[in-house]
Amino acid sequence: MNMRIQLTNEPIAHQDMVENCRSKSAGAVVLFLGTVREITGNEQTLFLEYEAFAPLAEKALAEIAEQAKSKWAIEKLEIIHRLGILQPGETSIAVCVSCPHRADAFAACQQIMNKIKEVVPIWKKETSPKGVSNWIHPAN
Amino acid sequence: MNMRIQLTNEPIAHQDMVENCRSKSAGAVVLFLGTVREITGNEQTLFLEYEAFAPLAEKALAEIAEQAKSKWAIEKLEIIHRLGILQPGETSIAVCVSCPHRADAFAACQQIMNKIKEVVPIWKKETSPKGVSNWIHPAN
Amino acid sequence: MIKISVLFFAGAREIVGQNRLEMELPALTSIAELRGILMVRFPRLESLASRAAFAVNEIFALPDTLLAQNDEVAFLPAVSGG
Amino acid sequence: MIKISVLFFAGAREIVGQNRLEMELPALTSIAELRGILMVRFPRLESLASRAAFAVNEIFALPDTLLAQNDEVAFLPAVSGG
């Protein structure tokens, strides 16, 4: 299978993900990290809180991974999403893909991220330095 | 400047590159690793040897980096190319980019890699398990 | 009548005030109808409900999916993970 | 006449048998003319030369770049780094 999907409350060990994905049959490894920004637009973020509908989120991530595997020549693939409270600078999501060729690795990693943002039941709440909290529900 | 360009004979410490590129103002980090494949087509590779026209290669990498910075909102950028003899599985090149948003980070990292493959005066020689060595000069 | 439960997440949970609601519905109620019932009962849910997805027993459901006894429905407002 | 040196890399160095060649050329020889001269002197260089780039004093050069005394030319066969 060579695939790992995980939701975690711990910091994401992306170094391990890269080492797991390296392979003598892959010429390309692409790692994406989504990290918490201190400022979005004009708003400052004190911290974010991520919540998931965990059983369905894991299934949705696995399905996204399977679709990617059927579309591109993927050697290894790991997706880890962090939940709970994250400080600015911390990693909320990491996707690592290895492929024989780099065009596939870039395309697969990017499309996996796009799909995750679209359909996986995970939500974030922003808390400002003034203590105001808002769940983010994009209006498209 | 927040930019590092390097040619090295040592293994590439890509973990440090990711840590250097993380930033509270970047929401996205993309790391690309080019790694030595054991098999290309039907040919087995015992090892690769990379050679550069170093002063011009460094200039060309810096120019590619500057072009990327003028095109995308890049926070930090590191490019390290290894030279000398590499075994299958080892990393020949690492490019790490951080940007406020992920589309920029993917596009910048991928285009930087494409440009490097096109114009930077670095060459590789493949040696097969039978001891046959060939410099690779793509015929387009 | 059938008994179902509805799970709420994120902003929807805050509006409803709980993460799980037990409901009695006429048999053969659809997801689309449940959405209407919830919007009447929790008017502030309306803006989330129009773009929400639903799952039944941990599988994504369509608006015309019919609910059955003991189903666990998840009300999934627009996602913002990643 | 001017004196220049030419640097060879990778497969080109193997064909020429050295990484640096000192040459005497007529003044105002262009890069394109130098390419022709090298192809005559090293016939096995031809396939590389047709797709080679050139640099003069560590700056990429065009075919019509004119060479001057003490220039250091680099003969750069098609690259394969990355």
Assign residue B120 the CATH number of its domain. Answer: 3.90.1170.40
Coarse DSSP helix, strand, coil percentages of chain A, rounded to the nearest 5 percent: 30, 35, 30
| Closest-CA residue of chain B to A33 | B29
Q: What CA–CA distance (Å, rounded) separates C55 from A38?
A: 33
Q: What CA–CA distance (Å, rounded) separates B105 from D34?
A: 42
Is there a contact between A95 and A113 (Cβ–Cβ < 8 Å)? Answer: yes
Give which of A4, A109, D62, A6 is closest to B29, Cα–Cα. Answer: A109
What is the percent of chain B with per-residue pLDDT over 90, rounded to a whole number? 94
Which chain C residues touch A50 with a CB distance below 8 Å?
A: 81
| Closest-CA residue of chain B to A14 | B15
Backbone angles phi, psi at B73, to 5 degrees: -80, 85
| Closest-CA residue of chain A to B88 | A24
Each residue's pLDDT tens digit, D10-43: 999 999 999 999 999 999 999 999 999 999 999 9
Task: Please give, rounded to a whole number of angstroms, the shortest distance from the CA of B40 to a CA of chain D.
Answer: 14
Task: Please give, rounded to a whole number of angstroms, the shortest distance from the CA of A54 to a CA of chain B.
Answer: 23
Does residue B10 register a pLDDT over 80? yes
Count of CA atoms in the C-beta half-sphere (13 A) of C48: 26
Residues of D with CB under 8 A from a CB of B: 7, 9-11, 14, 48, 51, 53, 55, 58-60, 74, 76-82
Tally of structural domains, chain B: 1
- What's the whole-number mean pLDDT along residues C48-56? 96
Best D13, D16, D48, D80 residue to mutate vs chain B (most B CBs within 10 Å): D80
Name the pLDDT band for A1 (thresholds 50, 70, 90): low
The pLDDT mean for chain A works out to: 96
Q: At what angle do helices A54-71 and A102-119 cross, to 10 degrees?
A: 150
State the alpha helices, DSSP H only, in chain B.
Answer: 14-21, 54-71, 102-119
- What's the whole-number mean pLDDT along residues B106-118? 98
Does residue A44 register a pLDDT over 60? yes
Q: Which of C7, C14, C59 sits opposite A135 (nearest CB)?
A: C14
Does residue B82 register a pLDDT over 90? yes
Show the tokens assigned to C5. Answer: 């439960």
Does residue B1 register a pLDDT over 70? no
Q: What local confidence, expressed as pLDDT, does residue A35 receive? A: 98
Task: Please give, rounded to a whole number of angstroms, the shortest distance from the CA of B33 to a CA of chain A.
Answer: 5
The pLDDT mean for chain D works out to: 97
Q: What local confidence, expressed as pLDDT, does residue C79 receive? A: 98
Name the pLDDT band for B43 (thresholds 50, 70, 90): confident
Does residue B56 register a pLDDT over 90? yes
Higher-pLDDT residue of A2 and D8 is: D8
| Closest-CA residue of chain D to B35 | D82
Q: What is the dihedral of CA A67, A72, A78, A81, to 10 degrees?
A: -50
Show the domain range for A129.
Answer: 2-136
Does residue A140 register a pLDDT over 80? no
Each residue's pLDDT tens digit, C14-42: 999 999 999 999 999 999 999 999 999 99
Task: Please give, rounded to a whole number of angstroms, the shortest distance from the CA of A120 to a CA of chain C.
Answer: 7
- What's the whole-number mean pLDDT along residues B36-57? 94
Q: Which of B51, B120, B140 sits opposite D10 (nearest CB)?
A: B51
- What's the whole-number mean pLDDT along residues A11-39? 97
pTM of the model: 0.96
| Closest-CA residue of chain B to D60 | B56
Q: How many CB pairs under 8 A join B and D?
A: 81
- Fold annotation for D2-76: Ubiquitin-like (UB roll) (3.10.20)
Does residue A133 register a pLDDT over 80? yes
Q: Kind and range of the H or E element at D41?
A: helix D31-41
Q: What local confidence, expressed as pLDDT, does residue B140 receive? A: 64
Count of CA atoms in the C-beta half-sphere (13 A) of D56: 17
**Chain-centroid distance, C-alpha C39:** 10
A56 contacts C55? CB cut-off 8 A: yes
Which DSSP letter does residue B12 get?
P
